[in-house]
Amino acid sequence: MTEAYNPFAVAQSQIDKACKTLGFDEATCQFLREPQRQYAFTLPIRMDDGKFKVFQGFRVQYNTARGPAKGGIRWHPEETIDTVRALACWMTWKTAVVDIPLGGGKGGIICNPKVLSDTEKERLARAYVRAVSRELGITKDVPAPDVYTTPQIMAWMMDEYETIMQEHHPGVITGKPIPVGGSQGRGDATARGGIYCVREAGKAYNIELKNQPMAIQGFGNAGQFAALLGEELLGLKLIAACDSQTGVVNNDGISVRALIDYKKKTGSLNGFPGTKEITSNEVLEVPCTVLFPSALENSINENNAGKVNCKISCELANGPTTPEGDALLDKKGVVVIPDYLANAGGVTVSYFEQCQNAQNYYWTEAEIHERLDRKMTAAFRSVYEMSVSKKCNLRDAAYLVSIARVAEACKLRGWV
């Protein structure tokens, strides 16, 4: 993250714009643009060599007017409090736009998990929970996995919380492995929710999807599932993809399953048979019907947005498009399905996991898919109808829908 780009400043500018459109008073706008609570703590960890190393951790509970805070925990060497604040803010709007009774939160630890052993990761996970346990709980704040955290890490965190509380609380953490209270359908939920949004966008904007090309920027978990489900559910054809190292393209089509297997075997897309090598940034410029930005923040900006060549951009990553990039895409007529709508399938199924944990009864994968489809379809339609009503793009409309819902809850509580 460069010093010139402050994601929380971007988030606040988006709030200011929505509040002005909605005609909110100054106090309401001020309240919505700041976190309710935020925590920072140091985590001393004994490493495998016997020496101690001190890590910095964060947890932000942005707004809980509609329910307990909800949001992932990121482990990243360049993590910052402003990134966590911004993502907690966006999570608030994400839970509101899909109309689930949760607020927004986010956590992070400054670390490089790629150089940590499994035992070091476990110590770090448990230390984080010990530091923040007083602020967690099914009625307070429910974390989940995010960048470089996994179901196994969530299981360690849940176990540490239950050890502290001396009773079972499976719903305190979501994204867990299924044997300890995880949900069916969680693995592909983020991508699946995005695919449902693309389907609805195709209907709303009269864009043909069957047999049309798609490109994936960021061929990780979400990107791989987007490719698989785009092909399976919408009939899209993969023609380009990239990971952090390189990109590949073949305008005649790429076998999704073969590319996934190749990536698992080699650790890279480089050299995949039958494709031409391109840079990761060049994947954004490949002519396609649907682009899935599925990498990190700030990927589409003022320097490259003018070269993006798609009809629909479905943002599976968090914050992949800067405001400057967004303006350029809007000018080009690209239908951008904004991140906190497009990737809300993950938090929606996390909410389903909480519901199942609470009732101690678990749904089938087919039931999860059906419920997710209903939620995402309703969310897209509410945003699309707002965009038509206010004559604005989907990102602005999504902010208007979600911020209005959160503000209403704040006002009903008498907070502002």
Alpha-carbon torsion, ordered 187, 353, 33, 135, to 10 deg? -120
DSSP collapsed to 3 states, 185-249 = CCCCHHHHHHHHHHHHHHHHHCCCCCCCEEEEECCCHHHHHHHHHHHHHHCCEEEEEECCCCEEE
Q: How far is CA 280 from CA 103, 117, 300, 347, 360, in A?
A: 35, 29, 12, 28, 44
Within 13 Å, how many C-alpha atoms sit on residue 321's CB side?
Answer: 29
For 157, other C-beta atoms within 10 Å of its C-beta total 27
Q: How far is CA 283 from CA 22, 300, 304, 333, in A?
A: 37, 11, 11, 19
Tokens coding 405: 């819902």
Q: Looking up tokens 């650790």, which residue turns up?
A: 267
Number of separate helices (H) and strands (E) present in the chain: 13, 12
**CB 276, CB 298: distance < 8 Å:** no
Q: How far is CA 178 from CA 157, 181, 191, 221, 385, in A?
A: 15, 5, 19, 18, 37
> 16 in helix, strand or coil?
helix
Tell me how far apart the alpha carbons of residues 158 and 152 are, in angstroms, rounded to a whole number: 10
**CB 194, CB 292: distance < 8 Å:** yes
Of residues 70, 94, 106, 237, which has the active-site annotation?
106
Q: In which region does residue 287 sit, left (phi positive, over 0), alpha (psi from -120 to 50) or beta (all else)?
A: beta
> 183 in helix, strand or coil?
coil
Tell me how far apart the alpha carbons of residues 259 and 370 are, in angstroms, rounded to a whole number: 28
Known active-site residue 237: no
**CB 324, CB 305: distance < 8 Å:** yes
Which stretch of DSSP H or E encloses residue 121?
A: helix 118-132
**CB 399, CB 89: distance < 8 Å:** no
Active site residues: 106
